[in-house]
């Protein structure tokens, strides 16, 4: 069954209909009808894998208090571009912050309006983010309480429990950056040793970014992820690639020979990046420059594909709703046995 794939012109209707129905004659059903109850063991490696992050719509008061942009017009345009490719992809990875408040039913209705049409056709695999846990009082979160709405859509998930899905000769590893990182780092190190004979690379998905060039926010590089995850990766096989969210926008960094990709441009208000970015490998368009040389990056999502001797990355995005969604960056990471 083909998913609802709205045109760009119809995309803005997605936000309105997410609670009541779907645009273009595609009915929205309860989430149990869309999301699978079991974790797949593998994905079709002949098709690209889509990755998006930070779909949450920040509350108006918080945007006002922090002087952040509204993204309500831009988000459905980006999602429509993703929907148009649903027949081509093997699955969709979301690197955290599926919603703004994990305990909010209205936030989950918004999420369903965006993602349920994809979930009816391919597997949707999340790495949980800080906003997805049960949070109160301006996002003071309890990282052992998974909201019922999250478990309804992803029943295999448990706090601090990593999981893995095969993608041909590439392994996909999903970590919970909010809790139990030391144990997950040990799990990853042990699993990578066992994966070496069969898999040539491992894509590591988690929410918080170990490295970033962001400025003007309390969320900088995550030192716990550096200590418990990154410290175990240098010189290790299969080749590790780390893909995260949390820092709203897009970054492609290379640190000690390892690629770190931040794809957090799925709908949250975007951050500014510093003028000096020594590890920055991105060569695509910037959306703005301020008087200090700080930049803002496009809304975005990734398409990842296995190639003969490499893993290919295509980044699709745009700066404002008046622009067309297009390729903003493409690159390859060489891999070998």
CATH label, 47-334, candidates 3.40.50.720, 3.60.21.10, 1.10.238.10, 3.40.50.150? 3.60.21.10
- pLDDT value at position 31? 60
- Number of other CB atoms surrounding residue 270 within 10 Å: 26
Which residue in the block uniquely carries the two structure tokens 């695509």? 284
Q: Which two tokens stand for residue 3?
A: 């998913």
Q: Is the distance from CB of 214 to CB of 274 less than 8 angstroms? A: yes
Report the interhelical angle of 74-83 vs 105-119 (nearest 10°): 30
How far is the C-alpha of 265 from the C-alpha of 156, rounded, in Å?
A: 26
Specify the pLDDT at position 15: 43
pLDDT (0 to 100) of residue 5: 41
Q: Is the dihedral of CA 322, 97, 302, 252 positive or negative?
A: positive
Q: Determine if the peptide bond prior to 238 is cis (ω within 30°).
A: yes
pLDDT at 58: 65
Q: How many CA atoms, within 13 angstroms, populate the side-chain half-sphere of residue 44? A: 13
Q: Is 99 exposed, middle or buried (0-12, 13-18, 19+ CB in 10 A)?
A: buried
The reported pLDDT for the residue numbered 135 is 62
- Structural domain boundaries in the chain: 47-334
User: How close are the terminal C-alpha atoms of the chain, in Å?
Assistant: 38
3-state secondary structure 74-138: HHHHHHHHHHCCCCCCCEEEECCCCCCCCCCHHHHHHHHHHHHHHHCCCEEEECCCHHHCEEECC
Tell me what pLDDT residue 62 has: 59
Report the Cα 124 to chain-centroid distance in Å: 11
> Token pair of 208, please?
């918080």
User: CA separation (Å) from 8 to 73, 75, 156, 191, 259?
Assistant: 11, 11, 34, 42, 32
Question: One digit per residue, pLDDT tens: the chain, 337 residues?
Answer: 334 444 444 444 444 344 333 333 343 444 657 888 789 999 999 999 999 999 987 655 555 455 566 677 889 999 999 999 999 999 999 999 999 888 888 889 999 999 999 999 999 999 999 888 866 554 555 656 788 889 889 999 988 999 999 999 999 999 999 989 999 999 999 999 999 989 999 999 999 999 999 987 667 888 999 999 999 999 899 999 999 999 999 999 999 999 999 999 998 888 899 999 999 999 999 998 888 889 999 999 999 999 989 999 999 999 986 778 999 999 999 997 6
């Amino acid at each position: 069954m083909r998913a609802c794939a709205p045109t760009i012109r119809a995309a803005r209707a997605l936000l309105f209909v997410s609670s009541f129905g779907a645009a273009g004659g595609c009915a929205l059903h309860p989430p149990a009808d869309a999301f699978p109850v079991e974790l797949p063991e593998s994905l079709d490696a002949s098709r690209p894998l889509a990755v998006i992050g930070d779909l949450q719509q920040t509350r108006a008061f918080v945007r006002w208090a922090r002087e952040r942009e509204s993204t309500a017009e831009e988000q459905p345009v980006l999602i429509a571009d993703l929907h148009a490719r649903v027949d081509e992809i093997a699955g969709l990875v979301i690197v955290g912050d599926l919603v703004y408040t994990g305990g909010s039913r209205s936030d989950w209705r918004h999420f369903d309006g965006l993602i349920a049409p994809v979930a009816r056709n391919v597997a949707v695999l999340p790495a949980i983010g800080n906003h997805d846990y049960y949070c109160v009082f301006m996002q003071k979160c309890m990282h052992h309480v998974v909201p019922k709405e999250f478990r309804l859509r992803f029943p295999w998930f448990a706090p601090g429990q990593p999981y893995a899905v095969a993608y041909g000769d590439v392994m996909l590893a999903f970590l919970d950056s909010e809790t139990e990182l030391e144990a997950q780092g040990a799990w990853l190190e042990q699993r990578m040793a066992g994966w070496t004979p069969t898999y040539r690379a491992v894509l590591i998905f988690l929410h918080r970014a170990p490295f970033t060039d962001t400025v003007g926010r309390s969320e900088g590089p995550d030192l716990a992820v550096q200590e418990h995850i990154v410290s175990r990766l240098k010189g290790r096989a299969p080749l590790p690639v780390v893909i995260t969210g949390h820092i709203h926008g897009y970054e492609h960094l290379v640190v000690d020979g390892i690629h770190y990709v931040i794809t957090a441009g799925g709908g949250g208000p975007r951050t500014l990046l510093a003028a000096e970015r020594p590890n920055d490998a991105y060569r695509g368009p910037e959306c703005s420059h301020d008087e200090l040389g700080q930049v803002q990056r496009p809304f975005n999502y990734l398409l990842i594909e296995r190639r003969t001797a490499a893993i290919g990355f295509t980044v699709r995005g745009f700066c404002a709703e008046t622009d067309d969604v297009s390729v903003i960056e493409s690159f390859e990471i060489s891999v070998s046995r």
